[in-house]
Amino acid sequence: MVGFRDKTKRVRAHLLLVLCTLCAVQMPSATSTADNLDRCLNGKHHKKSPGAEGAGLKKYHCSPWAERSCCTNETAQSIKQDGVFTLYNMKWNHCSRNLSKACRDWFIKDTCFYECSPNLGPFLVVDKRSKITRKERVINVPLCASDCDAWFEACRDDLTCSDNWGKNWKWTKQGNQCIKECRTFKEYFQDSSTFCNNIFDRTFEYAHGKAGEDCLSLWPNVSKDGKNPNENVARIVQKSHAQYAAVGEKVVNFLDTCVATNYHKSKPGPELDITECVPWRGHACCTKNTTDAIKKDGGVSLFNMKWDHCGNLSKKCKDYFIKDTCFYSCSPNLAPWIVKDNVPKKARTERVMNIPLCSDECDGWFEACKDDYTCSDNWGETWKWSKKGNECKLPCKRFKDYYKDPVSFCNKIFDHSFEYTDGEHGKDCMSLWPDSDIRDLNRELASKVALTLVSAGISLNPPVFANIGFIVYAALFLQKLLDL
């Protein structure tokens, strides 16, 4: 028995040495968090940086921001004149009855806040829906419950035809037109919390607490020396962001990785001018040239690969392959699944493997393509390549003849780039088209995986999964030995 224990100790020591070698954590150098406290939203009517507007602004409707403002006197005058009609071609009076003065006054306050406030930096995100009027938007600004309550109370019996003024309209040259029937605000928004959270597509978040400490005011009570209490809240939120960034710096640096190919960027960053692959406008591994190529001919310009190799794909099937190509080319959230390509190619030295793609995505993709035709049971490998691109090795058959079901399709279509995965988006699996301004669910999943690797002591140095199977096996075996 003693001999066995001695042998166990030697095995344990050897495995510890192996694990320490494989899992050594490399500490990145510290980086500073960008200061968001002295900037304005990137919009058509916003200034580039805040500054004083003085007596001119005090004359109009946006006086709290006279000494430090992201809006000009001209913008404030437009708000006084007709709300947001001149600015955005948007009518507040879109139903048969004009808004009451009490309700209209709150929308004026909101517009001044949005156009003029220099304290929104910590809440700015890239607007993924390309608009002429802006390239950024604000998300989840903690608006004081007292403001939300008063705003809703002022408007509850007025009429509107939209449960989300941020997007639920039919837009024409004459402005916003109703797509729903006119009802009272209290019918569309049952209470002040729902109203604040939904009126402008999650721009605001109903927040309890004290103005200037826990939440922002639409019309801040600026002191005689020009101090705006909203600035204090912005500083608190910014400090919280900085602390989070410091804690998660290893994870952030690890995730800011793109696949090593000829057309991926080395590091992700904003691509505000792309019109294809828009979910990644704010943080992309692709360039505008890449997305233009996808829009032009799918994979031909990029990979010399024809999707229409057995006749044209149906539009619904082609749309899924466009989503897939955008996902692969642009996503900055693939680092945990990047591996060295065992068969190095001119165009790449790395690939992705076993990305957990949500089962409903796989089901929809297979359903869209099952009656279309292909001549390959593995689009990652089974081709005869020539200067003209991919040529058929196998006969043309329907997708459902080569791939029996969505599981087989997702797992095999690109040589195990994906893995059919049941579960919840952002928690268990990824989306091909993460089109949400509110949350980046793919980022959440990638971050969770990266944090798990950090907790296990595994080096966040892509590609991390080259030896992951051995690492997990060794760790489990070591634990069994320790339990003896």
Q: Read off the DSSP letter of residue 277.
A: S
Residue where a domain stops, chosen among 247, 280, 302? 247
Q: Is the peptide bond before 434 cis (omega within 30 degrees of 0)?
A: no
User: Tens-of-pLDDT digits for all 484 residues of the chain?
Assistant: 334 334 334 433 333 333 333 333 332 223 334 467 889 999 999 999 999 987 767 766 799 998 899 999 999 999 999 999 999 999 999 999 999 999 999 999 999 999 999 999 999 988 877 568 888 999 999 999 999 999 999 999 999 999 999 989 999 999 999 999 999 999 999 999 999 999 999 999 999 999 999 999 999 998 767 789 999 999 888 876 665 555 466 777 788 889 999 999 999 999 988 989 999 988 899 999 999 999 999 999 999 999 999 999 999 999 999 999 999 999 999 999 999 887 767 778 899 999 999 999 999 999 999 999 999 999 999 999 998 999 999 999 999 999 999 999 999 999 999 999 999 998 899 999 997 766 788 988 998 888 777 666 565 554 544 444 333 333 333 333 434 4
d(CA 232, CA 74): 28
Q: Which residues contact residue 348 at a Cβ distance below 8 angstroms, ignoring those fewer than 6 apart?
A: 259, 260, 261, 262, 341
What is the distance, to the nearest Å, from the Cα of residue 164 to the centroid of all Cα atoms in its chain? 20
Q: Interhelix angle for 315-330 vs 288-297, to 10°? A: 160
CB-neighbour burial class of residue 258 (10 A; exposed 0-12, middle 13-18, buried 19+): buried
**Residue 130 domain-assigned?**
yes
In a domain, 100, yes or no: yes
Residues 242 and 260 in one domain: no
DSSP 187-219: HHS-SHHHHHHHTTTTSEEEE-S-BTTTBB-SS
On whether both 95 and 239 belong to a single domain, the answer is yes
In-domain check, residue 460: yes
Domain count, the chain: 2
Same domain, 223 and 274: no
Residues 241 and 349 in one domain: no
> pLDDT value at position 17?
33
Task: Say whether both 229 and 282 belong to one domain.
Answer: no
Is 25 domain-assigned?
no
Tell whether 209 and 353 lie within a shared domain. Answer: no
Q: Is position 27 within any domain?
A: no
Q: Do both 279 and 410 map to the same domain?
A: yes
Residue 140 resides in a domain: yes
Give residue 360's domain range.
256-483
The residue out of 247, 264, 286 marking a domain boundary is 247
Tell me, yes or no, whether 375 and 354 share the same domain.
yes
172 contact partners, CB below 8 Å, separation of at least 6? none
In the prediction, which pLDDT does 29 show? 29
Identify the pLDDT of residue 227: 85
Tell me: do 228 and 327 sit in the same domain.
no
Asked if residue 268 and residue 193 are part of one domain, the reply reads no
Domain identity same for 367 and 391: yes
| 351 three-state secondary structure | strand
- Among 216, 247, 278, which residue terminates a domain? 247
**40 is a domain residue:** no
Residue at 17 is within a domain: no
291 and 234 in one domain?
Answer: no
Can you tell me whether residue 124 is helix, strand or coil? strand
